[in-house]
Structure 1
Amino acid sequence: MKILSIILFVLVGFTNAQVKDAEQILNEVKDKFNKIKDYEVDVSIFVDVDFLKVPESKAKIYFKQPDLVKLDSEGFALLPKEGVNFSPIKLLNQDYTAIFVKEDIYDDHKVDVVKVIPNNDSSGVVLSTLWIDIEGHYIRKVETTTKSSGTLKVELSYKNKDKWGLPSSVVFSFNVSDVQLPASFSGEIGGDQKEETKKKKRGETMSGKVTLTYSNYKVNQGLSAEFFEESK
């Protein structure tokens, strides 16, 4: 009996040692991103949606903490609003419960898997699962389930070991019903495409993908708040 108690004690201690502090993991992500005061970047947008035919387009994005965003685009651009300046601060600056799930390997990188559950009933998000790079303290993947806009998956890639933790590309994949884009997407749909959308059966599942490829980051250049008021 004594030996069994010792074995159980060791096993419990070993198990507890494997459980990480989810809040600490998320705080490290926020601390890293908070070192970025502002940035500008060029982005190419490629849209692959069942009922939309959209040419690849280019834009320049400006961002300033905490949430100022300006977009200069050439022609049409279908952009996920949350993805224009994918910000862990926006995702994590809310009342939530965080649960550490496990360590894992994602895209050949060691990651911590953390589930984030909003505590606010008015939130449109039911659950988000984050894959966080253990070494770099930045997000590599997010899967979000919403109350009304289906499921959204975000996959982020980084070049080498970028000290700022800013992605070189972001791929949004979504799967929605009721023949509508998620509320997080904005853009214009041509007349023919609107008619095609109307012909879809209500409740039919739609899928699509938006790929953003970033280049020429300029970080902490001292962008003023007034700059973001221009051309509004």
Structure 2
Amino acid sequence: MDPTETVDAFDPQRRGLSPLGATARRHAGRLAVTAVLTAVLVFAAVRDPALLSPTAGVSPTAGVSLSSGVSTAVVGVGDPTFLVRLELGVLAGALAAGVSLVFLADRDPAVNLRDASGWLVVAAAGFLVGTVAARQFAPPLADLLVEWGRVAADSRQSALELELFFPVAVGGGAAVAPLLLGLRRAGALSRRLAGRTRGLSLLCLVVFAACFSPPDSTTFALYAAPPAVGLGVAVAWVEFG
């Protein structure tokens, strides 16, 4: 089947959507259910977000740093942060819906994920390696932001957000370029990563940085920078590669 005919079948109103975008529109309800159910399960399962942080289990001290003092306080008292649990659920739901969307798009005859298998493996590996590596730097980064006066030293929420979500930002930044290039190779996105794809990608990274970082412009930039660099690499690869 011709790719144009396939897109028209998924996009009868001819909104100019890519196969991936048309699939998202067609299965919006199913994707929403997947996201909500995953979010609820994660929210219910994670009773203490501090147990997931790099400093979980550190012996209590006098508490001079944001990373060690706050995390141990949460673990010791057993007082989970409601908002951080909610953020974990929302993030897990969004990731689950995104993975489902990719596999649903593979049903389109114009899309062949096998052609992009190498790129998708690189994206998964980049996300894992980037996340694990950034977890080692999250606690000292939190302490540095306290010294700069960007984050309050007694904010448990800020500590957990930095330790849990900054690594995700770095891992996401490492995965963005191979993911977009792989979906392009598979036929799920425009061959030139057109303005709609770039715009939605930028919107997603801005929303992520705004929702999961502490309320400070410096941390916002730290969260947004890795995915933005990944997006820039993907666009440059397509335009000049």
Tell me which interval the TM-score lies in, with the shorter structure as reference length. under 0.3
When you count strand as a share of all residues, which structure comes out higher?
1
**Structure of higher CA gyration radius:** 1
When you count helix as a share of all residues, which structure comes out higher?
2
Q: TM-score, normalised by structure 2?
A: 0.25
